[in-house]
């Protein structure tokens, strides 16, 4: 997927990226989101409407990763998800617990390593002072 530039401000971009979407087959909504620098992390939940053979609605969750940047005064984004194995690892650890682990185990391990390294650096910085 490429980059999409259609938003005047960063706040407008974020608001648009996290708004619920409703369709014939169900709804999609961001149940959690945060920005780490210019990366928008989201936990998405899709509820699929009841169809023949199902007892009730079915829902799935996944982690979204939108890279954001400003060009020529307009904010744009590049959408990705956990399954794509983005080369970004600042996803909050709590998001991993909210989404089933069968998505991308290698990427999840890299996220955990990223946070462990950050914690080590923080401890070293405290010891230096």
pLDDT in tens, 62-113: 999 999 999 999 999 999 999 999 999 999 999 999 998 777 999 999 999 9
What the block records as the tokens of 102 is 């069968």
What the block records as the tokens of 68 is 């954001």
Q: Is the dihedral of CA 46, 23, 34, 108 positive or negative?
A: positive
**DSSP secondary structure of 74-104:** EEEEEEEEGGG--S-----HHHHHHS-TTS-
In angstroms, the CA 112 to CA 108 distance is 6
Pairing of strands 21-23, 39-48: unpaired
Q: How confident is the model at residue 5 (pLDDT cuts 50, 70, 90)?
A: very high
What integer pLDDT is reported at residue 43 of this predicted model? Answer: 98
Mean pLDDT, the chain, rounded, equals: 91
Query: Which has the higher per-residue pLDDT, 128 or 69?
Result: 69
Q: Would you call 70 helix, strand, or coil by DSSP?
A: strand
């Amino acid at each position: 997927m490429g980059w999409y530039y259609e938003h005047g401000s960063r706040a407008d971009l974020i608001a648009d990226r996290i708004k619920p979407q409703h369709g014939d087959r169900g709804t999609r909504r961001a149940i959690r989101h945060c920005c780490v620098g210019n990366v928008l992390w989201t936990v998405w939940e899709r509820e699929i409407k009841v169809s023949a053979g199902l007892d009730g609605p079915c829902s799935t969750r996944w982690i979204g990763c939108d890279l954001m940047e400003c060009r020529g005064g307009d904010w744009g984004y590049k959408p990705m998800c956990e399954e794509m194995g983005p080369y970004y690892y600042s996803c909050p650890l709590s998001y991993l617990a909210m989404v089933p682990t069968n998505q991308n185990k290698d990427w999840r391990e890299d996220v955990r390593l990223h946070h462990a390294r950050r914690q080590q650096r923080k401890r070293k910085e405290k010891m230096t002072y």
